[in-house]
Amino acid sequence: MDERIRDHADVLVDWSARIEQGDDVVLSVGEGAHDLGVAVAEKLGAIGANPVTTYASAELTRAYLRAHDGQFDEVPAHELALYEHADAVLRLGGSNNTTGTADVPPDIRHDWPAEAVREARLDTDWVSTLHPTRAHAQQAGMAYAQYQDFVYDAVLRDWEHLAAEMAQLKDRLDAGSEVRIVKADTDLTMSIENRTAVNSAASVAYDSHNLPSGEVFTAPTATDGTVTFDVPMTHDGTRIRDVRLTFEDGAVVDYSAAVGEDALAALVETDEGSRRLGELGIGMNRGIDRFTDNILFDEKMGGTIHLALGRAYDACLPAGESGNESAVHADFITDMRVDGTRLEIDEEVIQRNGIFCWEDGFEA
């Protein structure tokens, strides 16, 4: 076994999910994630945790959902009980075909599994990660060995060190009132008054549930100006490129895309909340050095910023206050690692040309 698979399991179990002896764990193994499953099982055995191992297969899901009449009226008692009694859920993604559910009608896909099951799962110390497969390499346009290197560079970080670095940015955001993003064809301001940033350090201890992670995010309001996104994205199977959004008083008043404008229109016009930002995220994972058409990685790249239309995360809001609500949460990424870009908090330049003010090479 590639020693990096064991290292991946170590980070997942120890740093991310903080599994302890006696923990009741649901270990979800993707159809291509067997090898990581073996390494995680070994870790759980050594710790003395108790796994129930589930199988996450796009092919089984597709077969089930296409044959089903789509009436999911009752919450399956056994599935709900499994998650309600679980301390943690470790989801080892890893497909053999990343488009394996392409011909499942979207409304059926969205109604399953039951909302109560999803909530019970999210109520655990859950962490999602990805085992590199040939299918994901293909989606990224990369050779398999090259993609393995890419994934392990992103996952096998010094997370403690990165968490400390990200804390600096979180502190600045928490103390700040206004964020400004400047770039060619981009000049956008937003309020972050009374907002709490999340230091997403790939650990449940940081309220962060993806491995890799490595971003600091908050929930902005009162967005004004124009922003362009030069990183391509895939939304519900449709490619969208070169998105440009113009905001007034917090809401999108104009939008365009070079590719996939219809899909963008459907997104923006989903509901009232889909015209407003739910998230400002600032990527800080320097182990991610290229875009691979996988949001789990793309949005964490150090030197990028992403903005999401739609739903805001409660963790960013004052207690009792509800943020932007929407049926969607769609991330758009802009690459700040080019000349002439600036990220400002209250007019102080925090990042220039993709380099943070505390990093080597920063030009004040």
Nearest-approach distance from CB 55 to its own copies, in angstroms = 4
For its own copies, the closer of residues 22 and 340 by Cβ is 22
Count of residues making up the chain: 364
Least distance (Å) from its own copies to the CB of residue 149?
A: 24
> Residue 51 in contact with residue 26, Cβ under 8 Å?
yes
- The minimum distance between CB 347 and its own copies, in angstroms, equals 51
Contact in structure between 69 and 109 (CB atoms under 8 Å):
no
The answer to whether 212 touches 155, Cβ cutoff 8 Å, is: yes
Nearer to its own copies, 42 or 149 (CB): 42
Beta carbon of residue 10, minimum distance to its own copies (angstroms, whole number): 13
Residue (73 or 339) nearer to its own copies, CB: 73
Cα-Cα-Cα-Cα dihedral sign, residues 228, 169, 205, 207 = negative
Which residue's CB is nearer to its own copies, number 70 or number 237? 70
Is cis: bond before 212, omega within 30 of 0? yes
List residues binding its own copies (CB under 8 A).
22, 24, 26, 29, 31, 34, 37-39, 41-46, 48, 50-57, 59-61, 63-69, 71, 74, 76-87
Nearer to its own copies, 77 or 364 (CB): 77
Q: Helix 3-10 to helix 34-47 angle, to the nearest 10 degrees?
A: 50
Q: Give me the least distance between CB of 284 and its own copies, in Å please.
A: 33
How buried is residue 319: exposed, middle or buried, by Cβ count under 10 Å (0-12/13-18/19+)? exposed
Looking at the Cβ atoms of 26 and 182, the one nearer to its own copies is 26
| Least Å from the CB of residue 41 to its own copies | 4
The number of beta carbons lying within 10 Å of the beta carbon of residue 201 is: 26
Pick between residue 74 and residue 363 the one whose CB is nearest to its own copies: 74
- Name the minimum Å distance from CB 15 to its own copies: 19
Residue 163: phi and psi, rounded to 5, are -60, -40
193 CB contacts (<8 Å, ≥6 apart)?
A: 177, 178, 221
* Whole-number Cα distances in Å, 89 to 19, 98, 124, 200, 292: 10, 22, 7, 18, 26
Contact 197, 251 (CB under 8 A): no
Closest contact distance (angstroms) between CB of 148 and its own copies is 20
Q: Which residue's CB is nearer to its own copies, number 104 or number 268?
A: 104
Cis before 106? omega within 30: no
